[in-house]
A and B are shown apart, each in its own frame.
Chain A
């Protein structure tokens, strides 16, 4: 059943394979994002309650859901690497962590910047906000652990264990925070009166969302290829590649 996967578990093959995918991903990301963002900023209607501040939505929500999606991806990669000892799965998890952290940070920042005009404060200890903040800490933990190990293979394994422990914990965190919140306060700040999204808001959102997803794919590909190179530096194919590409001083 796993046979078809086998060639891709070879670092050299996946290095070249991702190399071939990259231009396609990049083109898609560029097209989708430019259509989506122009649409979102210029043509999408303003919200009847929130006015033009609603345009933050088009970054905020994709960033927030991608931040969680990437963690999910990382957890799967970590599981694969622990169960099947796939070194490439480690490399891909390592490639995803910083991207996920950046998207989490974007979700937090855009959320805050939206919260100031809407709720009158940059920050409240709301369930969603708090669990997003904790997600950022989890990401930072994984990254810090990665950078603390010198041997990248070991770093991958250690970070994998942490990712898995964190992923078991993530639903608990989410649940606990939600519960804690409703228990303490009757919502003092009115949450977003959920507008039933009209089609002319939905389309640009879809473009933005897919565009950001493609951007994630592009960056993860770049980082994945870097990880492969760094982990296989003594392989002859890497050596050949290097002697062709190194900039000599």
Chain B
């Protein structure tokens, strides 16, 4: 152990500001990077889920239109017959 007291440790032989600035900023940047990388995972998964929902919606709209078209056709046929 190089330091006798906590305050000495914080002071770092007069270089406290620079040492803690370096360690602090580095830790901050790395933690942000780590967390954002992890958080992206869920974000991407949610995006893909949303994508899937959108596709489902499209498919429904498509089916509805198909039904409408066929029923319209039926009507037209009935009208002619």
Interface residues of A (CB under 8 A from B): 41-46, 51-53, 55-56, 59-60, 63, 98-99, 102, 105-106, 109-110, 113-114, 116-117, 215, 218-219, 222-223, 225-226, 229-230, 233, 238-239, 241-243, 245-248
A106 in contact with B25 (CB, 8 Å): yes
B79 at the interface (CB under 8 A from A): no
Task: Name the B residues within 8 Å of A63 (CB-CB).
Answer: 26
Chain A proximity mask over B18-57: 1 for CB below 8 Å, otherwise 0: 1101110110011001100110111011111101100000
A242-B49 CB under 8 A given contacts A52-B12, A59-B23, A109-B25: yes
Q: Shortest distance in angstroms between A4's beta carbon and chain B's nearest beta carbon?
A: 29
Q: Do the beta carbons of A110 and B13 come within 8 Å of each other?
A: no
Minimal Cβ-Cβ distance residue in A for B46: A246
Q: What's the minimum C-beta distance from A234 to chain B, rounded to whole angstroms?
A: 8
CB distance from A113 to the nearest CB of B (A): 5
B21 → A minimal CB distance (Å) = 5
Binding site for A on B (CB under 8 A): 1-3, 9, 12-15, 18-19, 21-23, 25-26, 29-30, 33-34, 37-38, 40-42, 44-49, 51-52
Given A106-B29, A247-B42, A53 contacting B34 (CB threshold 8 A)? no
Complex A-B, nearest 5 residue pairs according to Cβ-Cβ distance, in ascending order? A246-B49, A52-B13, A53-B15, A52-B12, A110-B22
Q: A42 touching B41 by the CB < 8 A rule?
A: no
Determine the distance from Cα of A102 to Cα of B33 in the docked complex, in whole angstroms.
Answer: 8
Q: A113-B22, A226-B37, A242-B52 are in contact. Are A53 and B44 (CB under 8 A)?
A: no
Closest to A215 in B: B30
Main secondary structure of the interface of B (DSSP, over half): helix
CB distance from B81 to the nearest CB of A (A): 45
In the complex, the answer to whether B18 meets A56 with C-beta atoms within 8 Å is yes
* CB closest chain-A residue, reference B14: A51
Complex CA distance for A205 and B33, rounded to whole angstroms = 23
Q: Which residue of A lies closest to B50 (CB)?
A: A246
- Please report the C-alpha to C-alpha distance between residue A238 and residue B46 in the assembled complex, in whole angstroms: 12
Residue of B whose beta carbon sits closest to that of A248: B49
Contact among A56, A219, A229, A233 for B41, CB-based, below 8 A? A229
Q: With A55-B19, A109-B22 known to touch, is A219 a contact of B37 (CB < 8 Å)?
A: yes
B22 touches A219 (CB 8 A): no
B25: chain A residues within 8 A (beta carbon) = 106, 109-110, 113
Enumerate 19 A-B pairs (CB-CB under 8 Å) in ascending A order. Answer: A41-B9, A42-B1, A42-B9, A46-B13, A51-B14, A53-B13, A53-B18, A56-B23, A98-B33, A99-B33, A109-B26, A215-B30, A222-B37, A222-B41, A225-B41, A229-B45, A230-B44, A230-B47, A242-B49
Chain B residues whose C-beta falls within 8 Å of the C-beta of A43 in the assembled complex: 1-2
Chain A residues positioned under 8 Å from B47 (CB to CB): 230, 233
Residues of A within 8 A of B52 (CB): 239, 242-243
Check B2 against A226 for contact (C-beta < 8 Å): no
CA distance A113 to B15 in the complex (A): 10
